[in-house]
Amino acid sequence: MASKTVDEYPDCERCPNRIFNTGKYIQGGRGSIHGDIVFLFPRGDRVYCDDYQLFTDIGNLYDEYSGRNNTEDVYMTYSIKCACSNNYNTYLTAVDKCRNILWKELARINYKYLFIFGDAYRSISDNPIPRFIATGGKYVFSNYSPLIKFKDNNLYRIFKQRFADDINWVNENRNNYGINFIND
């Protein structure tokens, strides 16, 4: 992703979040652009996010559940590319303004599995998406935001179980292209 500030990026021109992020850089994702998995996170409340290492936490869960390495398999990014204000509800407008930036970012990744957390689905669709859909050769999994851990322990347990189930499904089906291999 290009290193531009919100002041330089054309898609940020009419975004209300620009006011709170003047001079700051657009935040792209991190991880492998050669992996087959993308994790798409919503922007969270600064109260919960400032010291929380979201990518590290979820990456570690992925490693635990998959037995693989998230730095090789996964690209992680936010649906909104700069911090939101806690004092003003700019989220929906920011989603709309960041949509083009997100699609440009995802276009350079040849992913097969898209994990959408919380209301990050708004960057993909105007309507909530089901827990699982397969479309255009891609598999999309929808789950609670991992930030739910700060608000509801029961929902966080559900999030972790769903995430584990989804990762297991990916592991079982990752190389299933309708070809059966015979092991000698």
HSE-up (13 A, CA, CB side) for residue 150:
14
At 184 the pLDDT is 43
Summarize pLDDT for 10-50 with one digit per residue, the tens. Answer: 888 888 877 777 777 788 889 999 999 999 998 765 555 55
Topology, domain 10-176: Uracil-DNA Glycosylase, subunit E (3.40.470)
Summarize pLDDT for 101-149 with one digit per residue, the tens. Answer: 899 999 999 999 999 999 899 888 888 889 999 988 899 999 999 989 9
Comparing C-alpha atoms, which of 112, 162, 172 is closest to residue 142?
162
Distance CA 143, CA 153 (A): 15
What predicted TM-score, i.e. pTM, was given to this entire model?
A: 0.86
Other C-beta atoms within 10 Å of 104: how many? 12
Is 2 exposed, middle or buried, given 0-12, 13-18 or 19+ CB atoms closer than 10 A?
exposed
Comparing C-alpha atoms, which of 150, 75, 148 is closest to residue 118?
148
Radius of gyration of the chain (CA): 17
